[in-house]
Amino acid sequence: MAGYTLSEKIFSRASKKEVRAGEFVMADIDRAMVHDITGPLAVKGFYEIAGEDGAVWDPSRIVVLFDHQVPADSLAAAENHIMLRKFAKEQGILNYDIFEGVCHQVMPEKGHALPGDLVVGSDSHTCTYGALGAFSTGIGSTDMASVFATGKLWFMVPETLRLKAEGRLSRLVTSKDVVLRMIGDIGADGATYKACEFAGSAVSRMSVPERMTMANMAIEMGGKAGLVDPDETTYRYIEERVGSFNRKTVLHGDDDAVFDEKIWDVSDLPPQVAVPHNVDNVVAASELAGTKIDQVFLGSCTNGRFEDLALAAEVMRGEPLARGVRMVVIPASRTEYMKALRAGLVETFMEAGATVESPCCGPCMGGSFGLLGDGEVSLSTSNRNFQGRQGSPKARVYLSSPATAAAGAITGEITDPREI
């Protein structure tokens, strides 16, 4: 009999029976996360299910934080924050409030997503924590209300699509370029409901932050989750941040499991850019040379980590922003911000003329600040370039790596960073 994929093993553990792809299961949730945009609807739904004096199934397994509209950017946002603070306090739930940063950075770095965990978050990019070997997926607010009440959720165990990146990436080509190329090739629905497992020699060499960029974008090809089988790199990431944990109980996929596989040779891959208004509309950055930029956004749960900021600063090498270009830099968490501060990166960006904001989602989802007006063009390290995503439906958002975004910031147009 064939072996089990990592996803099948996680769902088998979480549903206490041996299950295979395609089976429906009722699974026990290890961790649930809500933020300020989708949390209020989940809380409302929870009280409708459980009654006014209802208690959540296990407060120690829930995390609340605010990142989309912080510090409160409107009275409506302030009211949502008040509601969630009250809920967390009354139920005894950990609430990071506005203090720690973007959910998908904070959850892994604080140890709330570990290898083999089944994690749900009411945000589509919850798939990010799969970089640590968790099965982690985004759900809606009503599903979350049901999780709050029961600690369980139904799933169809997904089939696995293994996306292998083989070879050695050239200088200034990153995991973002690899995942954009993969999305461009298989399409925005190329992995619908599948568990996307990133593998291959290039992925093995990547740091956890680089892997998080790829897992984060699994949803942009329709994936239910984005996973990397845990290895020594994974263990070190966790031990450095969370302390000791039991390596022996970590789940791994079997070599003889059943999955589809696609392979890319990334050795000669040039920097990639997703052209508006679809994430799967991907071309080499050099093909877009000359495209003028109004705003560069360096940040988000995709590329707002210290390593991303360091790479961007390396490309900019003390050069000022091109005339007429704005650059908004938002480290993804307080921890990453402090690292950037200590390394002098914040100074580098500010001397170049950029604005550096406190950790939050910023312009990424167009619901807060840093928005684009009619006809403006953004080069962004985030994950979506949908029409209207960063403000006006008449604006255009291009997606790239931090290196390509930095090159654009100092040249004023889309530029292959290797030409700087």
Partner 1 sequence: MSAMIRGEAWIFGDDVDTDVIIPGPYLRTRDVRELACHAMEGIDPDFARKVRPGDVIVAGKNFGCGSSREQAPLALREAGVGCVVARSFARIFYRNAINVGLPVVEADVSCRQGDEVAVDFSAGTVTVGTVTFRGTRLPEFLLDILRDGGLVAHRRKEKMEKEGLL
- Smallest distance from partner 1 to CB 142, Å: 4
* 143 contacts partner 1 (rule: CB under 8 A): yes
Outline where 60-130 has alpha helix (H). 75-91, 103-109
Stretch of 104-112, 263-271, 346-354, 380-388 lying at the interface with partner 1 (CB under 8 A): 380-388
Binds partner 1 by CB under 8 A, chosen from 20, 23, 59, 142: 142
- Shortest Å, Cβ 366 to partner 1: 4
Tell whether residue 57 is a contact of partner 1 (CB under 8 A): no
d(CA 174, CA 201): 14
Q: Of 222-281, which residues contact partner 1 (CB under 8 A)?
A: 222, 224, 278
Q: Per-residue DSSP letters for 36-57? A: TTTHHHHHHHHHHHH-TT---S
Q: Taking the complex as a whole, how short is the minimal distance between the CB of residue 209 and partner 1, in angstroms?
A: 23
Nearer to partner 1 by Cβ, of 72 and 94: the residue is 72
CA end-to-end span of the chain:
54
| Amino acid letter, 132 | L
Phi, psi of 361, deg, nearest 5: -75, -25
Binding range to partner 1, per CB under 8 A, among 134-142, 206-214, 300-308, 336-344? 134-142
Does 69 help bind partner 1 (rule: CB under 8 A)?
yes
The nearest distance, CB 15 to partner 1, in angstroms, is 15
CA-based R_g, the chain, Å: 21
The piece of 57-65, 67-75, 98-106, 304-312 that touches partner 1 (CB under 8 A) is 67-75
The H-assigned helical ranges of 292-333 are 300-303, 306-316
Three-class secondary structure of residue 233 per DSSP: helix
Torsion angle, CA of 331/333/336/341, rounded to 10 degrees? 60
Whose structure tokens read 């001397």? 351
**Of 346, 322, 281, 340, nearest in space to 405 by CA:** 322
Give me the helices (H) in 175-222, please. 175-186, 201-205, 208-216
Question: Could you tell me how many residues of this chain bind partner 1 (CB under 8 A)?
Answer: 46
Q: List, in sequence order, every residue forming a beta bridge with 31; answer none if it has no partner.
A: 119
Integer Cα distance of 141 and 40 in angstroms? 8
Neighbours of 90 (CB within 10 A): 12
Q: Which residue has the tokens 């060499």?
A: 205
Binding map of partner 1 across residues 87-126, x = CB under 8 A, - = no contact = -----------------------------------xxx-x
**Contact range with partner 1 by CB under 8 A, out of 75-83, 163-171, 299-307, 374-382:** 75-83
Q: Report, in Å, the least distance between residue 394 CB and partner 1.
A: 11
Lookup: tokens for 268: 């000669």
What are φ and ψ of residue 196, in 5° steps?
-90, 115
198 in helix, strand or coil? strand
Taking the C-alpha atoms of residue 123 and residue 37, their distance in angstroms, rounded to an integer, is: 9
Q: How far is the CB of 139 from partner 1 (least distance, A)?
A: 7
- Taking CB under 8 A as the criterion, the residue among 20, 44, 334, 339 binding partner 1 is 44
Provide, rounded to whole angstroms, the least separation between the CB of residue 27 and partner 1: 14
**Near partner 1 by CB under 8 A: residue from 6, 25, 37, 379:** 37
From the list 253-261, 263-271, 348-356, 387-395, the region that binds partner 1 by CB under 8 A is 387-395
Which residue number, 279 or 346, has a Cβ lying nearer to partner 1? 279
Contact indicator for 131, 215 with CB cutoff of 8 Å: yes
Options 68-76, 84-92, 203-211, 308-316: segment touching partner 1 (CB under 8 A)? 68-76
- Within 312-371, the residues that bind partner 1 by CB under 8 A are 365-367
Which of 95, 105, 128, 146 binds partner 1 (CB under 8 A)? It is 146
State how far the Cα of 207 lies from the Cα of 219, in Å rounded to an integer.
Answer: 21
Sign of CA dihedral 243, 361, 304, 210: positive
Q: Which stretch binds partner 1 (CB under 8 A): 184-192, 202-210, 324-332, 345-353?
A: 184-192
Which of the 8 DSSP states describes residue 413? B
Q: Which is nearer to partner 1, 234 or 382 (CB)?
A: 382
Residues that bind partner 1 (CB under 8 A): 24, 37-38, 40-41, 44-45, 48-49, 68-69, 74, 76-77, 80, 122-124, 126, 138-143, 145-146, 149, 154, 188-189, 192-193, 219, 222, 224, 278, 365-367, 384, 386-389, 393
